[in-house]
A = this chain, B = another copy of it.
Amino acid sequence: MTAPLFNTLCVIGPGLIGSSVLRRLRAQPGLVSRLVIADRDPAVLDRVRCLNLGDEITDNLAKAVSGADCVMLCVPVGAIAPVARAIMPHLKSGAILTDVGSTRRSVVDALLPTLRDDIAYVPAHPMAGTEHSGPDAGLADLFEDRWCLLTPDANAPQDAIDRMSAFWRAMGARIRIMDIDHHDTICAMVSHLPHLIAFTICGTADTLAEDMRSEVLDFAASGFRDFTRIAASDPTMWRDIFLNNSDALLSVLDRFSQDAASMAKAIREGDEKTIVETISRGRRIRRSLLENRQA
């Protein structure tokens, strides 16, 4: 048997992502010797206790992190830097600090000034999820064949980066190491903008007159149904993502709005060529996705 990657891993905030990590680790004993779970919400702690996801379960963050070789923050993006600040004095010297946030620049800017020299900060963004949230929503195979984007701090030692890569590979993910601003632009396009649009279109439907709204619900064709699946995601998590990646997101939203206005113009003017070109582009992207085995 090979040595464990970490003797003690501490997961703070065992929601969809955190509890999926924990489930996977429970299914692969030996990867991590001891699992510590911390959360400030007693209801969450009750659930992870019932689900038997950890060896130590506590609401005391300082105590939870004190013996950990790796501390993983699975809290909403807006809470990462505050929680990191709160636990910083209690971290074990040489520990790896990581998170699973969907945006980087604002988190890093808020966190770095408080980072201790003897702590390696190697954040990761596993690009996986469902519209569900909380410890009961986790899945052991959530990360299987999905990308995990690592954006290590410039001062993080290579050994820490290698260990986090090995960790996420063991979760089933494919690894890419990436610059943080590049990360934020890519994610604004492929994830944050689609979510913003899905939330918005559901709101648009909701403002239709009452009688029509019930019919909108009755007749929701597959198009709208797919959008509502995305739109069922957790409000706090997405509020934080939007606010923490606002520059990149507003920039791709602006591009999209211009493209939508061009499409409206083409429809108004009966410009068949532009309409067909736009639709065909969508098919091309779809084909590329299929070729990339992502669809």
Question: Which residues of A are at the interface with B, using a C-beta cutoff of 8 A?
Answer: 127-131, 147, 149, 176, 185-187, 189-208, 212, 215-233, 235-236, 238-239, 242-243, 246, 249-250, 252-257, 259-261, 263-264, 267-268, 270, 272, 275-276, 278-289, 292, 294-295
Q: Chain A interface secondary structure, helix, strand, loop or mixed?
A: helix
Complex CA–CA separation, A217 to B130 (angstroms): 19
Complex CA–CA separation, A54 to B222 (angstroms): 29
Assess the B193–A201 pair: CB atoms within 8 A. Answer: yes
Interface centre among A199, A207, A243 (most CB of B within 10 A): A199
Assess the B200–A263 pair: CB atoms within 8 A. Answer: yes
Known: A216-B189, A257-B260, A279-B235. A194 touches B227 (CB 8 A): yes
Assess the B194–A282 pair: CB atoms within 8 A. Answer: no
Given contacts A207-B259, A217-B289, A220-B294, 7 further A-B contacts (CB under 8 A): A194-B201, A194-B224, A196-B260, A202-B281, A202-B285, A226-B226, A242-B275
- A135 CB to nearest chain B CB (Å): 19
Assess the A228–B147 pair: CB atoms within 8 A. Answer: no
User: A288 to chain B: which residues have CB within 8 Å?
Assistant: 217
Complex CA–CA separation, A71 to B101 (angstroms): 57
Assess the A203–B282 pair: CB atoms within 8 A. Answer: yes
- A288 CB to nearest chain B CB (Å): 5
Complex CA–CA separation, A268 to B218 (angstroms): 35
User: A260 to chain B: which residues have CB within 8 Å?
Assistant: 196-197, 200, 253, 257
Assess the B281–A199 pair: CB atoms within 8 A. Answer: yes
Complex CA–CA separation, A200 to B203 (angstroms): 19
Complex CA–CA separation, A176 to B218 (angstroms): 10
* A-B pairs with beta carbons under 8 Å apart, 9 shown: A192-B223, A193-B201, A197-B197, A198-B223, A199-B281, A228-B282, A231-B282, A243-B275, A253-B264
User: A270 to chain B: which residues have CB within 8 Å?
Assistant: 243, 246
Q: Which of B127, B185, B215, B249 contacts A267 (CB 8 A)?
A: B249
Complex CA–CA separation, A259 to B257 (angstroms): 11
Known: A281-B199, A294-B225. A204 touches B268 (CB 8 A): no
User: A289 to chain B: which residues have CB within 8 Å?
Assistant: 217, 220, 225, 228
Complex CA–CA separation, A276 to B233 (angstroms): 11
Q: Which of B149, B226, B268, B279 contacts A229 (CB 8 A)?
A: B226
User: A131 to chain B: which residues have CB within 8 Å?
Assistant: 286
User: A246 to chain B: which residues have CB within 8 Å?
Assistant: 267-268, 270
Complex CA–CA separation, A211 to B276 (angstroms): 25
- A106 CB to nearest chain B CB (Å): 11
Assess the A203–B264 pair: CB atoms within 8 A. Answer: no
User: A185 to chain B: which residues have CB within 8 Å?
Assistant: 212
